[in-house]
Structure 1
């Protein structure tokens, strides 16, 4: 695939980024378009692997290796190298309904499993993918394709995040009449309100939603199922219901002072910011502002990074990010993290780059555990007290963290953002519908049929599997839609 000697001739080139000091002044995309020639050279770096592993996703050692939607990556890399962009677009859409979403917001486990990554920098797969789909939209190659006929079957999809959109897209293509219910005022779920504008613009989400509407999918917003619309009504009015509500139950922190003003869940911070930005460009003031504040972000993942980048654009006074883990190595440790596992290495993401450019240092503090929050006497957060910890294992192999005496520290704070993940789906709708759950409180649904314990009710995405990646949500959405289609058309089960 690609140019036989491309991996030897060209250095890795991903999508370029704007100057960090400049981009924090606006909410535009923090990256720049990748020139065609660079994308073609990157496609040329894709080797003629004997057994490519980038395109086959699996869970390995607690992470994801390869692409969960089984993207035809070597094929579209080769097509891009040869300048056959339209053919590359068709190939990219064969396994992925929304390559623009994964091309922007996926952590790219495909790159971690790239064979070239064994001894060189892997192919910048995600950057090539985004170049393909953006060229497709720019040239008008991506157009509405309504189904030629309808089956007469009706399906309600609850939730319009990546899993819900995928289910709706697939079932609509199969000819079923699909209505998507979203409790927020705009469709997109996590894509709209969980990922900030400079990383994934709402216009990117909206252009795909509009295409789906042209193809016949109906979107109903401000519809909180179980509250605004009884779930029984959905079951009575439809031949099937697919639940894709996500894992929105925040993981909390149980320390003294948690209820002080100024301590917020990260997703509340991000959601309010994007809504106010889209509604009024922040003129309505209906968001949690970091302007002029000492900000502490607790949590070292992607959501924490998004909180950093958002706070920087608010013009915060200072910023620190607590990571409970030690600083990761610069290179993959082959003894404990061998290829093709997802590489657990030190990364400097876009938010950290911005904080470092403005304040002079990487904002992260490692192996830090929060002990308590202290207020100013008027109910407002003033300080965060921490201690450093060391990861250890007991005799049964269970992890625990041992505090290191003498490492106590007090941090000044006006705003604290908790970005420590989610424990599962919110339970109100689950309980109202009488759905069985797993020990992790996820909706229990068979992996083969995606059916819950209720007839005609399916579950997919984070609501079924727990907090995960966009690309896994698309994987589950495609599989659940296929299972639902067979159920609706009464196709016998096969082994």
Structure 2
């Protein structure tokens, strides 16, 4: 695959990022693709490695390495190297229905499993994937997937995030009539309201939704199943249902002062900002603002970084991130060998922006909130923090303990809690008498009701966009087998 000596001749080159101090002044995408000539050289770095760990998603050491969608990465790298972009798109689209999303927002576990990283650095797989799909759109190769025949079977998909869209895409290809229910005012779920627009601009999402509508998929927005659309009506009108509602129940903190004004969950903050941005370019003021405030973001993941980047664009006075994990090493530790996902120190885009504006990495490592402090009016004014020591017991369980005499007080008028999610909201599952706790155990994607399936974060818990897409594809396949076993189809 690629050029036999490519990884020896060419250094890794990433996408081109705009200057941090420039990009925090707008909501446009933070990066752009290099030239086709550069991309061809990057594809040439793909080794003939024998066992391409990059294309087989696995959980190693509790972390994902390789591609859960099973993208045929060495094959389309070779085609890009040869300048055969259309063939590369055809190969990519065999496995991934939405490369424009994963090429922008996936953390690239494929690159973690790249054999070339053992020599120097991995192939820039993510940017090549993004380039392939953008080239395909530019050239008009991406067209509606209209089935030759319809089965007459009607299937409802609840939720229009990555898993729901993947379900709908696959079921429509089987010839079933698919209706996607979305309780928000716009289609896209996480893609629209969870991931800030500087990572995926809305026209990218809307472009894909238009194609799916042209393919025959129906989308109903501002419709919450179980409230606006009854369970009885759902059962009456559809042959099967797939629940792709996400893991949207945020994990909270049991900390003194939690009820003070100025403390919000991360998704409440991000959703309100994006909706106001899309509705009015932030002119309507219907969002939580960080302008002129000292902001403390609690959590160490992607959502926390998105909060930092959003607060900077709202012109916050300062921003600090509390990360409960210790600072990671610059290189892989002995207990984090390849092909595990590398747990190393790095600056994500929002942290890079904060450092550019304020001079330092915004993170306080091995630190947690001990107390929220308010004024006489019940408004947040500060956060008391404490250092955290993490150890493991004989069962391998994490034990976290506060370190004595490490308390500090940080000025704060806005706190954003981004410490993860507990799972799906229960109301719809309770109405269907489905045990939420048993969802992940179901490898068939079926719930307690044989014609109701579940996929994505609602089933497996908070996870990556690539896992959501793969779960949507797999659930669609299982659902297809189920409905066709119940109906005699003749073509």
Q: Which residue of 1 aligns with 2:485?
A: 490
1:452 counterpart (447, 451, 456):
447
Q: Does 1:189 align with 2:189?
A: yes
Give the alignment partner of residue 470 of structure 2, picking from 475, 478, 487: 475
In structure 2, how many angstroms separate the alpha carbons of the residues matched to 1:445 and 1:127? 35
What residue is the counterpart of 1:6 in the other structure? 6
Superposed CA deviations along residues 87-110 of structure 1, whole A, max 9, x for unmatched, are: 111111111110111100101000
Distance in 1 separating the partners of 2:237 and 2:60: 41
2-side partners of 1:124 and 1:99: how far apart? 15
The DSSP-based 3-state class of the residue aligned with 2:436 is coil
Does residue 432 of the first structure (1) align with residue 431 of the second (2)? yes
1:254-281 CA deviation, whole Å, 9 max, x = no partner?
Answer: 0011011110000000000000000000
Mapped contact 1:445–1:452 kept (Cα < 8 A):
no
Residue-by-residue CA offset, 1:174-232 (whole Å, 9 max, x unaligned): 10000000000000001100000001111111100100000000000001111111122
2:442 aligned with 1:443, yes or no? no
Contact 1:263 1:418 in 2 (8 A): yes
Distance 1:65 1:49 in 2: 16
Aligned match of 1:345 = 344
**SS of corresponding position for 1:369:** strand
8 Å contact kept, 1:444–1:452 = no
Partner of 2:113: 113
The Cα shift of 1:62 comes to 0.9
| CA apart distance, 1:164 | 0.2
* CA displacement at 1:18 relative to structure 2: 0.3
Q: What pairs with 1:299-378 in structure 2 (closer than 5 Å)?
A: 299-333=299-333, 335-378=334-377
Alpha-carbon distance between aligned partners in 2 of 1:458 and 1:79, rounded to the nearest angstrom: 37
In the TM superposition, what whole-angstrom CA distance separates every residue of 1:227-249 from its partner, at most 9, and x where no partner exists?
A: 11112211211000000000000
Q: Which residue of 2 aligns with 1:175?
A: 175
Partner of 1:278: 278
Q: Distance in 1 between matches of 2:33 and 2:395?
A: 51
Structure 1 unaligned spans of 5+:
none
Is the 2:39–2:128 Cα contact (8 Å) retained in structure 1? yes
Q: Pairwise mapping of residues 148-163 of structure 1 onto structure 2 (< 5 A)?
A: 148-163=148-163
RMSD: 1.1
| Residues 445, 451 of structure 1: 8 Å contact kept | no
Report the alpha carbon displacement of residue 393 of structure 1 after superposing the two structures with TM: 2.3
Q: Secondary structure at 2:388's aligned position in 1?
A: strand
- Determine the C-alpha separation between the residues in 2 that align with 1:6 and 1:397: 42
- CA deviation map 1:292-316 (0-9, x unaligned): 1100000011000000110010010
Give the Cα separation in 2 of the matches to 1:456 and 1:392: 45
- Residue 60 of structure 1 corresponds to 60
Q: Is the 8 A contact 1:461 1:476 kept in 2?
A: yes
1:413 aligned partner: 412
**Displacement after TM superposition at 1:444 (Å):** 5.2
- Matching of residues 118-267 of structure 1 within 5 Å: 118-267=118-267
Equivalent residue for 1:78? Answer: 78
Q: Is the 8 A contact 1:295 1:317 kept in 2?
A: yes
Matches within 5 A, 1:385-396: 385-396=384-395
Structure-2 separation of matches of 1:189 and 1:235: 23
Partner of 1:400: 399
Q: Matched residues in 1 for 2:376 and 2:139: separation? A: 60
Between the aligned partners of 2:269 and 2:21, the Cα distance in structure 1 is 22
Residue 50 and residue 13 in structure 1: after superposition, are their counterparts in 2 closer, same or farther (change >3 A)? same
- Cα deviation for residue 491 of structure 1 reads 8.0
CA contact (8 A) 2:324 2:368 kept: yes
Alpha-carbon deviations, 1:338-379, whole Å to 9, x = none? Answer: 111111111211101111111111111100011110101111
User: Does the 8 A contact of 1:65 with 1:110 survive in 2?
Assistant: yes
Contact map agreement 1:193 1:270 (CA 8 A) in 2 = yes
Q: Distance in 1 between matches of 2:145 and 2:172?
A: 10
Matches of 2:358 and 2:12 in 1, distance apart?
29
**3-state DSSP of counterpart to 2:485:** coil
Residue 89 (structure 2) pairs with residue 93 (structure 1): no
CA distance in 2 between partners of 1:106 and 1:347 (Å)? 16
2:40 aligned counterpart, secondary structure: helix
**2:100/2:133 contact within 8 Å kept:** yes
SS in 1 for 2:335: coil
Q: Distance in 2 between matches of 1:259 and 1:302?
A: 25
Give secondary structure in 1 for the equivalent of 2:51.
coil
Provide the C-alpha distance between the structure 2 equivalents of 1:39 and 1:57, rounded to a whole number of angstroms: 24
Secondary structure, aligned partner of 1:402: strand
